[in-house]
Amino acid sequence: MPGRGRNSAGLPQGGTGRPRRADACRPRPQGECRITNSPRLRTLETRHATLDRQITEEDARPRPEDAELSRLKREKLKLKEAMEKLRQAD
């Protein structure tokens, strides 16, 4: 029986059919996932989360600096693209 919110194939209903991040790891002989064990990916994810927090803080100010917000958002997008490249390289 499929889990709540999933179709008979176990995929999220209404989704694209792509596995969720936790499911994205292909089985390895040693049972490891290169994606989640990649120090580079963990570093990018940490920086991405930091930028997200900085964007939220800047946006919450009474008079946020538009130039700073734009810079932070561009940097966050570059990190997201770099993370996707690493995930696809697996």
The amino acid at 85: K
Burial 20-36 (b: 16+ CB within 10 A, else e): eeeeebeeeeeeeeebe
Residue 47 carries which side chain, given as an amino acid letter? R
| Residue 36, pLDDT score | 59
Looking at the whole model, is its pTM more than 0.95? no
- Contacts for 34-38 with beta carbons within 8 Å, 24 or more apart? 34/90, 35/86, 35/87, 35/90, 38/86
Per-residue pLDDT of the chain (90 residues; tens, 9 = 90+): 444 555 555 555 554 444 444 444 444 444 445 555 689 999 999 999 999 999 999 999 999 999 999 999 999 999 999 999 999 986
